[in-house]
Amino acid sequence: MSETPAELLRTAVRHDGARPFLTFYDDATAERVELSTTTFDNWVAKTAGFLTGGLGAEPGERVALRLPAHWQALAWAAACWSAGVCVVLGDDDDVQVAVAGPAAVASAAGGAPEVVGLALRPLGGRFTEPLPPGVTDYAVEVPGYPDHFVPLSPPDDAEPALERGGVVHTLGGLADHARQRAEQLGAGPGGRLLVATDDLGTALVDALLVPLVVGGSAVLVRHEDPAGRAARVDAERVTAAVA
């Protein structure tokens, strides 16, 4: 049996749940959010509960994440993997659930049996304008779900877990993929990575999976202002930076 992202997250919570796990910046809005390992895990659990209990997603099904690189998008991916659901990056409509940010909500409406909108506002705020018919506001629904999630049966590590650009990684293969990436980045045990990207696929690997396999943490920066990188690297005690 291979390690899965859910198992790695459980290990990280047990090791030191209070330490910072994911720090998110958006230089276009001056937003900064820091999540401890436990807080991130709680968001993952609530989202997995909403995904399975509220939206009816089952192991082996597919969920499209039409989102930018954002801390809530990483929580959604980890929730899918906790429930044995495959994350699909792209505009594939052959999915059970489509999860869309503000820029993609209108085009996603009606394209999947269930459509969820994420406002991507600071502190996980809800949409301030009415959503298209049939679109559920994530921020309205998810708070009521428990802080802990246990699937009815452990997901099969041979199930597809991530589809991107014609490449499919299995649930068990994600950790191996992340370890290879960690070697490329020079991310050692306990490393803190600065990942500056607007691409969700890159963020899922470099800012989520790599920190999990090395027992480290990440600083995810969207819309990075390069002039502020050196100061941020120093302030956040970054050990490796990924442009």
- Enumerate the domain spans of the chain: 5-242
Tokens of 113: 């049996």
> Which of these ranges, 10-14, 65-69, 128-132, 150-154, has the smallest mean pLDDT?
150-154
CA nearest neighbour of 209 among 219, 221, 217: 217
CATH code for the structural domain at 5-242: 3.40.50.12780
State what percent of residues in the chain have pLDDT above 90. 88
Is residue 152's pLDDT more than 80?
Answer: yes
Mean pLDDT score, 130-157: 93
Tokens of 114: 């269930």
* Average pLDDT taken over every residue of the chain: 94
- Other CB atoms within a 10 A radius of the CB of residue 123 amount to 7
Is residue 42's pLDDT more than 50?
Answer: yes
Residue 35's DSSP bridge partners are: 22
pLDDT of res. 149:
96
Helix (H, G, I), strand (E, B) or coil at 53: helix
pLDDT of res. 124:
86
Give 2's pLDDT tier (boundaries 50, 70, 90). low
- CB hemisphere CA count around 144 (13 angstroms): 7
